[in-house]
A = this chain, B = another copy of it.
Amino acid sequence: MTTDQRPLRADAQRNLERITTSAQVLFAERGTRAQMEDIAAHAGVGIGTLYRRFPTKEALLTALVRKRFQEFAVIAAECEEISDPYDALATSMRRQAESVVGDAAFQLAMMNIDSFSWDGIEEDKAALNAILGRLLERAQAAGAVRADLRVEDYGMMMCGTTATMYFMHALPEPGWRRHLEILLAGLKPT
Protein backbone atom coordinates (compact mmCIF):
# COMPACT_ATOMS: atom_id res chain seq x y z
CA MET A 1 0.00 0.00 0.00
CA THR A 2 3.04 2.28 0.07
CA THR A 3 4.11 4.15 -3.01
CA ASP A 4 7.88 4.03 -2.78
CA GLN A 5 8.90 0.45 -3.66
CA ARG A 6 11.52 -0.04 -6.34
CA PRO A 7 10.31 -0.68 -9.90
CA LEU A 8 8.66 -4.03 -10.45
CA ARG A 9 10.03 -6.66 -12.74
CA ALA A 10 8.75 -6.03 -16.24
CA ASP A 11 6.28 -8.92 -16.31
CA ALA A 12 5.06 -8.08 -12.82
CA GLN A 13 4.47 -4.49 -13.85
CA ARG A 14 2.50 -5.63 -16.86
CA ASN A 15 0.45 -7.97 -14.69
CA LEU A 16 -0.28 -5.20 -12.22
CA GLU A 17 -1.62 -2.99 -14.97
CA ARG A 18 -3.76 -5.74 -16.42
CA ILE A 19 -5.19 -6.47 -13.00
CA THR A 20 -6.07 -2.84 -12.43
CA THR A 21 -7.71 -2.54 -15.82
CA SER A 22 -9.66 -5.77 -15.44
CA ALA A 23 -10.80 -4.76 -11.97
CA GLN A 24 -12.06 -1.45 -13.29
CA VAL A 25 -13.93 -3.19 -16.12
CA LEU A 26 -15.51 -5.92 -14.03
CA PHE A 27 -16.41 -3.74 -11.07
CA ALA A 28 -18.00 -1.29 -13.46
CA GLU A 29 -19.92 -4.13 -15.09
CA ARG A 30 -21.02 -6.05 -12.01
CA GLY A 31 -20.53 -3.72 -9.10
CA THR A 32 -18.80 -4.81 -5.91
CA ARG A 33 -20.03 -8.32 -6.54
CA ALA A 34 -17.49 -8.92 -9.28
CA GLN A 35 -15.40 -11.87 -8.12
CA MET A 36 -11.70 -11.95 -7.45
CA GLU A 37 -11.33 -15.18 -9.44
CA ASP A 38 -13.02 -13.56 -12.42
CA ILE A 39 -10.87 -10.47 -12.22
CA ALA A 40 -7.74 -12.60 -12.13
CA ALA A 41 -8.96 -14.69 -15.06
CA HIS A 42 -9.90 -11.56 -17.02
CA ALA A 43 -6.41 -10.23 -16.44
CA GLY A 44 -4.91 -13.56 -17.45
CA VAL A 45 -3.15 -14.22 -14.14
CA GLY A 46 -3.60 -16.65 -11.26
CA ILE A 47 -5.45 -15.51 -8.14
CA GLY A 48 -2.26 -15.77 -6.18
CA THR A 49 -0.80 -13.02 -8.32
CA LEU A 50 -3.75 -10.78 -7.74
CA TYR A 51 -3.42 -11.30 -3.99
CA ARG A 52 0.31 -10.65 -4.17
CA ARG A 53 -0.46 -7.07 -5.27
CA PHE A 54 -3.66 -6.49 -3.37
CA PRO A 55 -3.97 -8.28 -0.03
CA THR A 56 -7.78 -7.97 -0.04
CA LYS A 57 -10.62 -7.08 -2.33
CA GLU A 58 -10.99 -3.87 -0.39
CA ALA A 59 -7.39 -2.98 -1.13
CA LEU A 60 -8.07 -3.44 -4.82
CA LEU A 61 -11.06 -1.13 -4.69
CA THR A 62 -9.04 1.34 -2.65
CA ALA A 63 -6.36 1.43 -5.33
CA LEU A 64 -8.94 2.35 -7.94
CA VAL A 65 -10.29 5.11 -5.75
CA ARG A 66 -6.80 6.50 -5.18
CA LYS A 67 -6.31 6.69 -8.92
CA ARG A 68 -9.50 8.70 -9.26
CA PHE A 69 -8.55 11.04 -6.45
CA GLN A 70 -5.31 11.76 -8.24
CA GLU A 71 -7.21 12.54 -11.42
CA PHE A 72 -9.55 14.78 -9.43
CA ALA A 73 -6.52 16.73 -8.24
CA VAL A 74 -5.36 17.21 -11.83
CA ILE A 75 -8.78 18.48 -12.87
CA ALA A 76 -9.01 20.83 -9.91
CA ALA A 77 -5.55 22.19 -10.65
CA GLU A 78 -6.55 22.87 -14.25
CA CYS A 79 -9.61 24.73 -13.05
CA GLU A 80 -7.45 27.07 -11.02
CA GLU A 81 -6.60 28.66 -14.38
CA ILE A 82 -10.20 29.80 -14.88
CA SER A 83 -10.47 33.48 -14.09
CA ASP A 84 -14.03 33.69 -12.74
CA PRO A 85 -13.88 32.35 -9.16
CA TYR A 86 -17.36 30.81 -9.14
CA ASP A 87 -16.85 29.27 -12.56
CA ALA A 88 -13.57 27.78 -11.46
CA LEU A 89 -15.23 25.99 -8.57
CA ALA A 90 -18.31 24.94 -10.51
CA THR A 91 -16.32 23.69 -13.46
CA SER A 92 -14.15 21.63 -11.17
CA MET A 93 -17.19 19.88 -9.76
CA ARG A 94 -18.83 19.41 -13.12
CA ARG A 95 -15.73 18.03 -14.77
CA GLN A 96 -14.90 15.69 -11.92
CA ALA A 97 -18.42 14.35 -11.86
CA GLU A 98 -18.42 13.93 -15.61
CA SER A 99 -15.14 12.02 -15.43
CA VAL A 100 -16.60 9.20 -13.34
CA VAL A 101 -19.86 8.77 -15.22
CA GLY A 102 -19.03 5.34 -16.57
CA ASP A 103 -17.13 4.16 -13.53
CA ALA A 104 -19.62 2.30 -11.37
CA ALA A 105 -16.67 0.91 -9.44
CA PHE A 106 -15.77 4.33 -8.17
CA GLN A 107 -19.36 5.34 -7.60
CA LEU A 108 -19.98 2.26 -5.53
CA ALA A 109 -16.74 2.77 -3.67
CA MET A 110 -17.64 6.35 -2.80
CA MET A 111 -20.88 5.06 -1.34
CA ASN A 112 -19.43 2.02 0.32
CA ILE A 113 -16.64 3.62 2.17
CA ASP A 114 -17.03 1.53 5.25
CA SER A 115 -16.52 -1.61 3.21
CA PHE A 116 -12.90 -0.97 2.40
CA SER A 117 -9.91 0.46 4.18
CA TRP A 118 -8.95 4.03 3.50
CA ASP A 119 -5.27 3.20 4.11
CA GLY A 120 -3.12 5.20 1.76
CA ILE A 121 -5.94 7.37 0.52
CA GLU A 122 -5.41 10.00 3.15
CA GLU A 123 -2.38 11.47 1.39
CA ASP A 124 -4.16 11.68 -1.94
CA LYS A 125 -7.13 13.24 -0.28
CA ALA A 126 -4.96 15.82 1.47
CA ALA A 127 -3.28 16.77 -1.80
CA LEU A 128 -6.67 17.12 -3.45
CA ASN A 129 -8.12 19.12 -0.58
CA ALA A 130 -5.25 21.59 -0.68
CA ILE A 131 -6.21 22.57 -4.21
CA LEU A 132 -9.93 22.53 -3.49
CA GLY A 133 -9.31 24.76 -0.48
CA ARG A 134 -7.69 27.39 -2.67
CA LEU A 135 -10.51 27.16 -5.20
CA LEU A 136 -13.06 27.63 -2.44
CA GLU A 137 -11.28 30.49 -0.69
CA ARG A 138 -10.98 32.41 -3.91
CA ALA A 139 -14.69 32.08 -4.57
CA GLN A 140 -15.47 33.14 -1.02
CA ALA A 141 -13.14 36.13 -1.19
CA ALA A 142 -14.99 37.22 -4.32
CA GLY A 143 -18.31 36.84 -2.52
CA ALA A 144 -19.42 34.31 -5.10
CA VAL A 145 -20.34 31.57 -2.64
CA ARG A 146 -21.66 31.30 0.91
CA ALA A 147 -19.19 32.25 3.60
CA ASP A 148 -19.97 29.21 5.74
CA LEU A 149 -18.65 26.62 3.29
CA ARG A 150 -15.78 24.35 4.30
CA VAL A 151 -13.59 22.13 2.19
CA GLU A 152 -15.36 19.04 3.52
CA ASP A 153 -18.53 20.33 1.91
CA TYR A 154 -16.93 19.86 -1.46
CA GLY A 155 -16.33 16.18 -0.81
CA MET A 156 -19.80 15.85 0.62
CA MET A 157 -21.37 17.31 -2.48
CA MET A 158 -19.32 15.06 -4.72
CA CYS A 159 -20.38 12.13 -2.61
CA GLY A 160 -24.01 13.11 -2.96
CA THR A 161 -23.65 13.63 -6.68
CA THR A 162 -21.90 10.33 -7.16
CA ALA A 163 -24.57 8.56 -5.17
CA THR A 164 -27.37 9.99 -7.27
CA MET A 165 -25.38 9.22 -10.38
CA TYR A 166 -25.26 5.59 -9.42
CA PHE A 167 -28.76 5.51 -8.05
CA MET A 168 -30.23 6.91 -11.21
CA HIS A 169 -28.09 5.13 -13.77
CA ALA A 170 -31.14 3.21 -14.99
CA LEU A 171 -33.10 6.33 -15.94
CA PRO A 172 -33.19 7.36 -19.60
CA GLU A 173 -31.83 10.87 -19.14
CA PRO A 174 -29.19 11.22 -16.44
CA GLY A 175 -30.80 13.36 -13.77
CA TRP A 176 -27.75 13.67 -11.59
CA ARG A 177 -26.74 16.70 -13.61
CA ARG A 178 -29.76 18.57 -12.30
CA HIS A 179 -28.92 17.38 -8.80
CA LEU A 180 -25.48 18.90 -9.23
CA GLU A 181 -26.91 22.12 -10.66
CA ILE A 182 -29.23 22.44 -7.67
CA LEU A 183 -26.24 22.09 -5.38
CA LEU A 184 -24.28 24.65 -7.40
CA ALA A 185 -27.19 27.09 -7.29
CA GLY A 186 -27.39 26.53 -3.55
CA LEU A 187 -23.77 27.53 -3.12
CA LYS A 188 -24.44 31.17 -3.99
CA PRO A 189 -24.75 33.55 -1.07
CA THR A 190 -28.27 34.39 0.06
Mark out the residues of chain A between 143 and 189 whose CB falls within 8 Å of any chain B CB in the assembled complex: 146, 148, 150, 152-153, 156-157, 159-164, 166-168, 171, 175-176, 178-179, 181-188
- A179:B167 contact, CB within 8 angstroms: no
Report the Cα distance A112→B20, complex, angstroms: 23
> What is the oligomeric copy number?
2
Closest to A31 in B: B114
Collect the chain B residues with CB atoms within 8 Å of residue A56's CB: none
A112-B114 CB under 8 A given contacts A183-B186, A184-B186, A186-B183:
no
Q: Which residue of B lies closest to A176 (CB)?
A: B156
A155 CB → nearest B CB, Å? 8
Residues of B within 8 A of A184 (CB): 186
Contacting pair A164 B175 (CB below 8 A)? no
Do A111 and B111 touch (CB < 8 A)?
yes
Q: Show the binding face of A for B, using Cβ within 8 Å.
A: 31-33, 110-115, 146, 148, 150, 152-153, 156-157, 159-164, 166-168, 171, 175-176, 178-179, 181-188, 190
Taking CB atoms, residues of chain B closer than 8 Å to A115 are 31-33
Determine the chain B residues whose CB is within 8 A of the CB of A190 once the complex forms. Answer: 185
The docked-state distance in angstroms from the alpha carbon of A156 to that of B169 is 11
Q: How far apart are A167's CB and chain B's nearest CB, in angstroms?
A: 5
Interface pair B163/A175, CB less than 8 Å apart: no
